Amino acid sequence: MQNPPPSAPGKSSTGLDENVAALLTYILGWVTGLIFFLIEKDSKLVRFHGIQSILLCVVAAVLFVAVWVITFVLVLIASQVGDIFGSLVGILAFLLWLVVGLLLAITWILCLVRAYQGKFFKLPFIGNLAENIVNK
């Protein structure tokens, strides 16, 4: 028995296919997320990804501020101690920024792919919040 062909994506009220509109919610972060959340009237998929895009940007901003504060405190401490410790702090700060940046980039790409596939891909914590907002 053959598998049925995948169903064609539905149209959103924007005139775009749902999966394309859902993908576009992530392209410019909270800006496109907000635009599509506000203009979309019919598609819960597009509205969900719009809210999740906004919340992902909020989480990213909080993480970047936290990493900046940690880096600043480490640099202040390192400036009072020897050169070797200062070098280690610099390497540690770079690695921290690299890990946080890579994790956010991977999350963003995963959201783009899942949105284009037309899936309600929920990120931990913020996915449930986005779902609750859309279902109100």
- For residue 113, is it within any domain? yes
- For residue 67, is it within any domain? yes
Task: Yes or no: say if 46 and 79 are a contact pair by the CB < 8 Å rule.
Answer: no
Task: Yes or no: say if 51 and 130 are a contact pair by the CB < 8 Å rule.
Answer: yes
pLDDT at 1: 42
- Tell me which long-range contacts 39-42 makes (C-beta under 8 A, separation of at least 24): 39/13, 39/14, 40/12, 40/13, 40/14, 41/13, 42/12, 42/13
Per-residue pLDDT of the chain (136 residues; tens, 9 = 90+): 454 344 456 888 888 999 999 999 999 999 999 999 999 998 999 999 999 999 999 999 999 999 999 989 888 888 887 777 778 888 888 999 999 999 999 999 999 999 999 999 999 999 999 999 999 8
Q: What's the rounded Cα separation, in Å, for the pair 23 and 113?
A: 7
Q: Residue 60 has which token pair?
A: 């990213």
pLDDT at 3: 42
Please give the tally of structural domains in the chain: 1
Predicted TM-score (pTM) of the model is 0.85
- For residue 130, is it within any domain? no
pLDDT at 8: 52
Domain that holds residue 107: 18-121
pLDDT at 9: 64
- For residue 117, is it within any domain? yes
Q: How far apart are the first and last CA of the chain?
A: 41
Q: Residue 39 has which token pair?
A: 């203009």
- For residue 3, is it within any domain? no
Q: What's the rounded Cα separation, in Å, for the pair 99 and 107?
A: 12
Task: Yes or no: say if 21 and 14 are a contact pair by the CB < 8 Å rule.
Answer: yes
Q: What's the rounded Cα separation, in Å, for the pair 6 and 66?
A: 43
